[in-house]
Amino acid sequence: MSITNREKVELIDRRYLEFKIRMAELKKQRFEAIIEYRKAIDGEKLRRIRAGVYY
């Protein structure tokens, strides 16, 4: 089945839009993971302070 040039360009654009959204989602996931990592670091700091080894 042949598709027109308009459909081809729309297909390319739609796929690019999907990709862009996917990248945004992944960046969001990564940012959320950084926040979790940040919490782990602060937890470790807190543990060291309580143990008297953090300054």
Q: Pattern of binders to another protein over 16-45, x per CB under 8 A? A: xx-xxxxxx-xxxxxx-xxxxxxxxxx-xx
Count of residues in the chain: 55
Distance of alpha carbon 15 from the chain centroid? 19
Q: State how far the Cα of 28 lies from the Cα of 22, in Å rounded to an integer.
A: 10
Q: Does 1 bind another protein (CB under 8 A)?
A: no
Q: State how far the Cα of 22 lies from the Cα of 1, in Å rounded to an integer.
A: 29
Closest approach, Cβ 31 to another protein, in A, equals 5
Q: Name the site residues for another protein (rule: CB under 8 A).
A: 2, 4-6, 8-17, 19-24, 26-31, 33-42, 44-46, 48-49, 54
